């Protein structure tokens, strides 16, 4: 395929997938339950880090977690009593358990004592002074640094990926897409400290497979380097908003599974 043919195919599928109907079947529906910025970003964070496995299971677990927070995550995180945390003891989603959730709740409570948004936890002043094009990488590193300084059980670390360990950080990059992309029927655009042009494509094995088949990616590892390579390629087609094509790669993958396209 020529670059023009690839772009036409990506544009078609992105527009097909990025619509309101997508929300009903995706974990992004969890933050869409709320209107307050802090509720959206908290619900979005937990929905994103639980986003591995079947989407129905992810959505069910995320819904349960929000109900455990009285369906008011910001109020719960900032106002709960220690005894309220006992309700999470039975919570489990794959390898994420109640102990992990409580650690994150406590971490966010500390953060919200001095900041109005989780955006400030990632995109700190030091991060934004870094060269353009490195802000997402530096934001993930800053988050890891803040998390490492917070007392917690180390078992929770595996749920918070880091580019320093070579991870593609698929779930956190998806979270950034939700929070940053503007003028989207799916994404929220409630964070403004980083440009859409700097966002990185959420890379998992399914997106990687489609990207390789289309000649957009040549590495067979689902890691940070592949995430950067794929995003750089997508940026050639849409410099101001490369992760728009995350929808396209998802849609093409679903169509192939349903044998709609060869």
How far apart, in whole angstroms, are the C-alpha atoms of residue 94 and residue 83?
A: 25
pLDDT at 11 over 70: yes
Q: Is the dihedral of CA 172, 176, 178, 184 positive or negative?
A: negative
How far apart, in whole angstroms, are the C-alpha atoms of residue 89 and residue 68?
A: 11
Q: How many CB atoms lie within 10 A of CB 154?
A: 8
238 and 30 in contact (C-beta within 8 Å)?
A: no
Q: What is the pLDDT of residue 260?
A: 58
pTM of the model: 0.95
pLDDT at 64 over 90: yes
Q: What is the pLDDT of residues 145-160, one digit of tens each?
A: 999 999 988 889 989 9
Q: What is the pLDDT of residues 163-195, one digit of tens each?
A: 999 999 999 999 999 999 999 999 999 999 999
pLDDT tier at 255 (50, 70, 90 boundaries)?
confident
pLDDT tier at 53 (50, 70, 90 boundaries)?
confident
pLDDT above 70 as % of the chain: 97
Q: What is the pLDDT of residue 155?
A: 86
How far apart, in whole angstroms, are the C-alpha atoms of residue 251 and residue 245?
A: 10
Residues in the chain: 262
- Mean pLDDT in residue range 224-232: 97
- Mean pLDDT in residue range 102-127: 97
Burial 124-138 (b: 16+ CB within 10 A, else e): beebeeeeeeebbbb
By C-alpha distance, which of 252, 164, 247 is closest to 202?
247
Average per-residue pLDDT for the chain: 95
Q: What is the pLDDT of residues 118-131, one digit of tens each?
A: 999 999 999 999 99
Q: What is the pLDDT of residue 81?
A: 97
Q: What is the pLDDT of residue 259?
A: 57
Q: What is the pLDDT of residue 258?
A: 62
Query: DSSP string of the chain?
Result: --HHHHHHHHHHHHHHHSSHHHHTTSGGGTGGG--SHHHHHHHHHHHHHT--S-HHHHHHHHHHHHHHTTT-HHHHHHH--GGGGGGGTT-EETTEEHHHHHHHHHHHHHHHTT-S-THHHHS-HHHHTSPTT-HHHHHHHHHHHHHHTS---GGGGGGS--GGGTB--HHHHHHHHHHH--S-SSS-----SS-GGG------HHHHHHHHHTTS----S-BHHHHHHHHHHHHHH-TT-GGGHHHHHHHHHHHHHTTS--
pLDDT tier at 79 (50, 70, 90 boundaries)?
very high
pLDDT tier at 257 (50, 70, 90 boundaries)?
low
pLDDT tier at 214 (50, 70, 90 boundaries)?
very high
By C-alpha distance, which of 92, 104, 91, 86 is closest to 42?
104
pLDDT at 261 over 60: no
- Mean pLDDT in residue range 222-237: 97
């Amino acid at each position: 395929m020529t670059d023009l043919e690839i772009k036409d195919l990506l544009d078609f599928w992105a527009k097909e997938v990025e619509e309101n109907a997508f929300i009903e079947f995706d974990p992004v529906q969890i933050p869409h339950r709320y209107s307050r910025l802090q509720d959206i970003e908290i619900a979005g964070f937990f929905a994103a880090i639980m986003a591995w496995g079947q989407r129905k299971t992810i959505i069910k677990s995320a819904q349960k977690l929000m109900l455990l927070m009285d369906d008011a995550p910001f109020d719960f995180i900032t106002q709960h009593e220690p005894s309220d945390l006992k309700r999470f003891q039975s919570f489990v989603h794959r390898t994420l358990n109640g102990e992990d959730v409580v650690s994150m709740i406590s971490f966010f409570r500390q953060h919200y004592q001095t900041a109005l948004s989780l955006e400030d936890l990632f995109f700190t002043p030091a991060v934004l002074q870094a060269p353009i094009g490195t802000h997402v990488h530096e934001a993930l590193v800053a988050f890891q640094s803040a998390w490492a300084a917070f007392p917690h059980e180390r078992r929770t670390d595996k749920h918070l990926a880091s580019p320093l360990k070579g991870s593609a950080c698929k779930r956190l990059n998806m979270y950034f897409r939700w929070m940053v992309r503007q003028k989207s029927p799916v994404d929220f655009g409630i964070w403004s400290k980083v440009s859409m042009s700097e966002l990185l494509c959420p890379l998992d094995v399914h997106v990687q497979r489609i990207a390789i088949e289309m000649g957009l990616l040549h590495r067979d590892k689902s890691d940070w380097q592949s995430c950067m390579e794929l995003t750089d390629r997508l940026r050639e087609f849409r410099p101001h908003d490369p992760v728009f094509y995350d929808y396209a790669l998802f849609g093409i993958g679903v169509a192939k599974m349903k044998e709609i396209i060869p």
